[in-house]
Structure formats: structure tokens, C-alpha cells
């Protein structure tokens, strides 16, 4: 799915039910030429979802009005894939 959609970013949990998602993505990354970044929920460093997306003051770094008024260029297939949920 990531290859078909030409995904540029992939957000994964650090671990879910004992499975290491970042390791899986690293293992197939060479097969995903369009993948520019993996963000890891609960991760650290440059892969940290929290650090990159939640702690960045986007309102001061980007022109939000322009971003939301323009259509994303080059976006072929917006895709969201839900992996699982535990109650």
C-alpha cells in the first residue's frame, strides 16, 4: 500500500502488541523510493512524532492560511491506514 500510494511519510507506533514497527519499516524502506520520512509515536530524535509534529510551533514557522487554501501539489492518493485498537 505504501508503494502503490507513493507515500512520502509513514507514522507508526514504536511498538504494538510486541511488534517493532520502526524495524519493519527500516527493513522495507529500500523498496519505497517515495518515502521521505518515518515518524514514530513514542520515538526519539529525528523520528519522534511528538517532537516533529506536536512540539513544533507550526503557526510561527509556516503561513497556515496559505497552506490550507492551496491544494497539495503532487498528492496522488491521500491514504490513512489504521492498524489496530485495543480497548
Domain boundaries, the chain: 9-69
The CA-atom distances, in angstroms, between 52 and each of 41, 46, 87 are 10, 7, 28
Using the structure block, give the residue that is written with the C-alpha cell 500510494: 5
Higher pLDDT, 2 or 23: 23
Higher pLDDT, 30 or 73: 30
Query: What's the whole-number mean pLDDT along residues 65-75?
Result: 59
Residue 10 has pLDDT above 60, yes or no: yes
Residues 52 and 46: beta-carbon distance below 8 Å:
yes
The CA-atom distances, in angstroms, between 69 and each of 34, 37, 63, 80 are 25, 24, 10, 21
pTM of this structure: 0.67
Using the structure block, give the residue that is written with the C-alpha cell 523498496: 31
| Predicted local distance difference test score (pLDDT) of residue 68 | 59
Amino acid at each position: 500500500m505504501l508503494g502503490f500510494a507513493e507515500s512520502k511519510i509513514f507514522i507508526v507506533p514504536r511498538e504494538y502488541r510486541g511488534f517493532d514497527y520502526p524495524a519493519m519499516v527500516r527493513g522495507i524502506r529500500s523498496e519505497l523510493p517515495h518515502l521521505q520520512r518515518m515518524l514514530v509515536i513514542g520515538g526519539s530524535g529525528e523520528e519522534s512524532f511528538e517532537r516533529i509534529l506536536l512540539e513544533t510551533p507550526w503557526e510561527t514557522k509556516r503561513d497556515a492560511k496559505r497552506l490550507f487554501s492551496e491544494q497539495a501539489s503532487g498528492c496522488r492518493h491521500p491514504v490513512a491506514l489504521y492498524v489496530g485498537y485495543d480497548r
